[in-house]
Structures are given as C-alpha cells and as structure tokens.
Amino acid sequence: MNSPPTESPKPPLKPPQIIQAITTILTSEKTHPHSLTPFIPHLTPPLILSVLSSKSLASRPTTLLSFFRWAQDHVPTFSLENPTQTIPSLLRLLASLFSHNKFADAKSLLVKFIAIDRRHDLHRSLLQPARSLPPPSKALLDTAIGAYVQLGRPHLAVQIFKKMKRLRLRPNLLTCNTLLNSLDAMELLNQMGEFDCQADNVTYNTILDALCKKGQLNEVRDLLMDMKNRGLLPNRNTYNILVYGYCKMGWLKEAAKVIELMVQNNLLPDIWTYNMLINGFCNEGRIEESFRLRNEMEILKLLPDVVTYNTLINGCLEWKSSSEAFKLLEEMREKGVKPNEFTHNIMIKWYCKEGKMDEASNTVQKMEESGLLPDRVTYNTLINGYCKVGNLAEALKTMNEMGMKRLKMDTVTLNTVLHNLCGERKLNEAYKLLTSANKRGYIVDEVSYGTLIVGYFKDENVDKAMILWDEMKEKDIIPSIVTYNSVIGGFCKSGKTEQAITKLNELLENGLVPDETTYNTIIHGYCWEGNVETAFQFHNKMVENSFKPDVFTCNILLRGLCREGMLEKALKLFDTWISKGKTIDAVTYNTLITALCKEGRLEDALGLVEEMEVKKLGPDNYTYNAVLGALTDAGKIKEAEDLMSKMVETGKCSEKLQMDERQDVVTGETLDESDSSSIAYSEQINELCAEGKYKDAMHIFGELTQKGIAVNKSIYITLMNGLIKRRKSTSKGA
C-alpha cells in the first residue's frame, strides 16, 4: 500500500522569515519558480521591495529581474494594473541593473512599464521622487528619456531632460540625439550647449534628417553653416541625407549638386547615394538620365544592387516600355543579382495593371519556387487585379489563401472586393465578408459600409440598407459627406426623396457641409419622381443658403422639364442660364435638341446644332442621332442621307458603329422586339446593303417611314454603316 503523499511545509508567516526563505531559494544554485508558489498568498508589495533590496541578492541583477517578473505574473497586488504599488520595487530593481551595466534589460523593463502606465505615475516619481526612495540616477533619467521617445511620448521625455538640466546632470550625447528626432531640434541643440554637451555629426545629421523628412529644406543651409562654424565637416551620411531630402521634394538639380560637392570634398558617393538619385529621376519619368547614372556607377566601380534594378524596372514599367524592364531582369540574372520580394511585386503589379492575370499568378509561383514568400502587398495586388478583370472567384480564392497564411488585406483591397461583390449582386456574400472582417483582422471603414449600403439600394432593399447604416453608426464609424451622398442618392433613386431630405438635415446636424453632389442628387430625385416644381423650390431655397448651381444642376432641371413636356419652360431656363454667362456643355444642348426633335420642331433643333458648332461643343453622335431620327420620322430621307454623309466626313461615325443593334439611336434606350413585318423589311434592307445597293435600301426605308410602319431602329445603324463603306470606296476611286 502506497504511503500518503507528504504535505508541503507551510511557509512561515512573519515577514522577516518570509524574506529570508525567499532569499535563500533565490540564492540557491537550482532555483525553480514552483518553489516560490507557497509564498504567493503572503507576498505584498512592501515584502517584494524588501526582497529586491536584500544585500545577499545585490550581486545578482538577473535573479532580481526574474523574481520581479514572476511577482508581476503571480502576485495580484503586484500586477501591472497597479503601477503605484509596483513603482518602488521597479526603481530598486533598475538601480541594480544600472549598477551592473544591464542597460538593455533596464530599458526593456522601462518601455514595458511605461506602455501600461496610463496615469504617468512613473513619470511623476522620476520628477518628484518620494523621500523613502533614493533620487533617480543620471543613468535612469537618460534611459527613461529614450523609453518615452520610443513610445511616442516626447513631451514627457523633454520634461525629464529639463529636470536633468536643473540637477546639472549632463545627458548622454545619444540621449540628446534621440530626443532631437521628435522635438524642436534647433531649440534642443541650443540647450545642449548649456550642459556643455557638444553636438557631433550624428547630432547634426539627426536634425538634417528631420528637416528633410518635413520638407523644411530652406532651413538646411543655415544648419550646415552652423555645423561648419563649430568645426564639424559634413560626412557621407550628411550628404546622403541631403540627397534624399532634395529627391523627395523633386529638386533633382540640387540633389545632383550635392553629389558634385561630395566629390569636391574627397567623399565619393556610395551605392545608397546613387540609388536615391536614380529613384528621384525615375519618379519624374526621366528614365534616360536614370540609366546614365547607372552607367556612372559602374565607371566608379559601384556595382548596381537589387535596389538599383528594382528602381529602374519600376521606372521603365511606369514611364517607358516593358521591353526595357524585361531586359533589366535578364541583366540581373546575368550579373548574379538575385531578384527579391520587391522585384516580384513590381512585376506582379504591372501584370495586374495590364490585365495579364495568368502572368501575375505565374510570377507568384516563381517567387515561391525561388524561396521567397509572397507578402500582403503581393496578395493585395493580386486581389485588386482579379477584381479589375472581373474574376471575382479568383479574387475570393486569393483572399482565403491570404487568411490561411495569416496575412491581412488592406482596407482598399477589402473595399474593392466588396464593390465587386455588390456589382455582381452577391449581397449576402458581401455582408458576410463585412461582418467577418473585424474577426479576420481587417480594418473596416465608412467606405466599406457605404459600398454595401449602395448595393442594397441598387437591389431596392432600402430596409436592409438602413439596418446597415444604423449598424455602422453603432460601431462609431462616422459617415463622411461622401457616404451621406451615397445614401441620399439611394433614397432618391428609390423614389424616396423625402427620406433623402431627412438625411440632409441629419448631416447638417452632425456639422457636415453639403456639397454640389448633395444638392444635385436631391434635385434629380424630385425630377425623377416628376415633382419638377418641388425641385425648383428646393433649388431656389438652397441658392439662398449659398448653394452655387453648376452645369449639372442646369442639365438635371432641363431634363426634368423636358420629361414632363414643359419644353417652353426648359427653353426659357436655357436662355436665362446663357444670359447669366453660366457654363453649359454638350449634354445641355443634346437634352433640348432631343426634346425639340420629339416635338417635331426640327428647324429649332437644327438652330441649336449650329449654335453648338459655333461654341465648339459638338455636335456629337447623340446630337446627330436625335436629328437623324427626326428627319426619318418626317420622311425627309434625302436630308437624312446627307446628314449621315456629313457624319462620316466630320468623323462622327467610325468605320463600324459600335452601338448595340437593339439600342435606339436617339435615346440610347433598349427597344422591344419588332413585329414580324418590321423584321422582314429589316432583313430586306440588310440584304440590299450587303449587295451594295444603298440607294434602293434608302428608298425602301423612306417608304416605310412614310407609311408609318414601325421599324427596328437598328436599321439606322445598318444604313449608316453602309453609307460609310460607300463613301470610303468612292474616296478610294477618286
């Protein structure tokens, strides 16, 4: 029979005994964390501080650090959630780490603590330490400055810097240089002198880098002069920073001068210098000069690296020709420069841009075969490419592949997929993607919601669109004016303009400013519903509220009036608009010309056509089609033929018209199937045109229109194409 397990001895309850026991465990050669477990219920922050202050552990900083971390994980009152209870022990431990030159461990500990110290308790302890604690050392303040800067809190770092100044503690030069990255560099540079802390090249290069990144190149000259006055000579890094800054601003002439200055000062440019300059020229489309720089590199025995080739390849694809890019790829292989992830991504981007998705997919495969892993850029590019060519199935497949590899789509790609799903009316799939996006780690924005909301409106599912709208607002995703315009447009197209007005009032209450699109959409909504009078009332009211109508406003109102048979009012509005010197376009004229033609007012329509020509706004295909329809309906076949010939002369017709055969040549709207007699006549006219008997075809067409027989409008296309061919053959004979 097995003997019962022996119980672990109960730990002593008196604090000195607890401290002694823990110290003994920590100083033993084989310390196991489980040995400390029985003491957990009795450990308090003061007891932990006593252990960390033990003289027997003073020479064991690593052991103290391990004990501190163990206590944070296991003692509830000593967790990171209670920084005030932890700070005394933290400062005691940091003192031990600094005294043993464990600076990396100390900084890591500080960074971790500061990250969760939301009330800045540690910061207060450093500025105003408790009497029970020793004052912070120079090493602690130096390291704390670096930690606060690393976590993006330079305003707290500079307060510690000022405390060092008051205590006459000279900061480390590295500390000063670190702080320069995030503050008013010139002010700090002047303060360094007060500490007798002399700036070096790193100091000035840090300031130069900050100025260049901010585009403040006008201040660079003064800084370089100050540097020279202090007896400091610019080094290669100084010049490279300047080249980067000038290239970033597009000041390539100045960048080239910096390189000349380098050579004059016996500092040869390195590969980094040339790569930056080549990139600058490629960004400006100056590819020939980029190649000249590459040749110059080789003369200086600087071998172009993968960055050089990537920059040139991308430049060729963006600005010059793909053939040059492929030559560079071949040159890379010949010279033993191995393509990297960026090389492949550049090619994938170009293939996707060109719609060559098979080649893009093959490039990904080659990438993997060469031991390189496709990254999120690779997959995002592919997904966008598949969406662009309409291959949604492959886009979704690639998206799932990304998920399996724990890579995240960016928001633009997510929105592209949502847009394509909505375009194909796959709204359920789009909704599932949207709702699962957060779980997958994707960032959803107002465009994501707006895309699907518009999709529901197009599907005439207004209720679902509004449910999604409310869901978006519950998640504190604030809609912009663009999203509001989408919703307002959805309501207007659904014949719910009054609900659109409610959204207009809502966006005003939220402090957003409506734009021309907002007002034009609502005006169009009223016109769409046939409420032209209400549209004008809204228009007039908004003009009083500083809305400035544009040409789109005019065209919407003109179309609304014409649709409701108010042609005279439309013409009056047109005259008023012209008299005020407002902008008009071809759509303005075509709207009126089409309406006049439908009313049989051919002469007035032709008058506007002439006016269009004088103003160089047309006429275009829509204009000609409207007039052509009016001529044939009036039985003026000769005039129709002359007009079609004129269209050919002026280049308004291509050799083969591209309009759908079932589209009305005047309105562009799809027609219903014609009756049997119309189809028969259409076939006869088609046969005559095929035989080159265009006059006979036109004669039959004229008889049909005079008899009032409804014919398929595609006959217009057949005859016009026939006349184009006849005119071309006549021109060749001449």
pLDDT at residue 692 in the model: 75
DSSP letter string, 72-120 = HHH-GGGSTT-HHHHHHHHHHHHHHHHHTT-HHHHHHHHHHHHHH-TT-
pTM of structure: 0.55
Residues 622, 723 within the same domain: no
416 and 384 in contact (C-beta within 8 Å)? yes
419 and 386 in contact (C-beta within 8 Å)? no
> Count of alpha carbons within 13 Å of 570, Cβ hemisphere only?
24
Contacts with 431 (C-beta within 8 Å, 6 or more apart), sequence order: 452, 468
Q: Which domain holds residue 702?
A: 684-731
The total domain count for the chain is 3
Residues 700, 644 within the same domain: no
Direct distance between the N- and C-terminal alpha carbons of the chain, in angstroms, rounded to an integer: 123
* Dist CA 600 CA 632 (whole Å): 11
Residues 160, 104 within the same domain: yes
Predicted confidence (pLDDT) per residue in 502-511, tens digit: 999 999 988 8
Residue 690 forms part of a structural domain: yes
Residues 611, 696 within the same domain: no
Residue 14 forms part of a structural domain: no
pLDDT at residue 215 in the model: 64
Residues 72, 135 within the same domain: yes
Domain boundary residue, one of 144, 163, 198:
198
Question: Residue 670's beta-bridge partner residues?
Answer: 663
pLDDT at residue 438 in the model: 75
Residue 619 forms part of a structural domain: yes
Residues 636, 710 within the same domain: no
Residues 693, 624 within the same domain: no
Residue 621 forms part of a structural domain: yes
Domain boundary residue, one of 132, 167, 198:
198
Longest dimension (CA), the chain: 123
pLDDT at residue 714 in the model: 60
> Count of alpha carbons within 13 Å of 686, Cβ hemisphere only?
13
Residue 460 forms part of a structural domain: no
Residues 716, 636 within the same domain: no
Predicted confidence (pLDDT) per residue in 670-684, tens digit: 334 445 666 677 777
Domain boundary residue, one of 142, 176, 198:
198
212 and 243 in contact (C-beta within 8 Å)? no
Write out 244-295 in H/E/C secondary structure.
HHHHHHCCHHHHHHHHHHHHHCCCCCCHHHHHHHHHHHHHCCCHHHHHHHHH
pLDDT at residue 8 in the model: 47
pLDDT along the chain (734 residues), means of 10: 46 75 82 76 86 87 87 78 78 88 87 82 82 80 80 74 75 59 52 58 70 64 71 81 80 82 82 90 89 89 92 90 90 92 95 94 92 90 91 89 81 88 90 84 86 90 92 88 91 91 91 91 93 93 87 94 94 93 92 89 88 87 79 72 67 44 37 55 76 75 62 60 58 52
- Tokens, residue 496: 């719910």
Residue 567 forms part of a structural domain: no
Predicted confidence (pLDDT) per residue in 115-151, tens digit: 878 778 888 888 888 777 778 888 888 888 878 777 7
pLDDT at residue 200 in the model: 67
Conformational region of residue 515, where left means phi above 0, alpha means psi within -120 to 50, and beta covers everything else: beta
Residues 635, 703 within the same domain: no
- Tokens, residue 590: 């075509």
- Tokens, residue 343: 């090389």
- Tokens, residue 673: 């199937």
Residues 47, 141 within the same domain: yes
Residue 87 forms part of a structural domain: yes
Q: Which three-class secondary structure state does DSSP give residue 670? A: strand
Residues 688, 640 within the same domain: no
Residue 691 forms part of a structural domain: yes
Residues 691, 633 within the same domain: no
What value does the CA radius of gyration of the chain take, rounded to a whole number of Å?
39
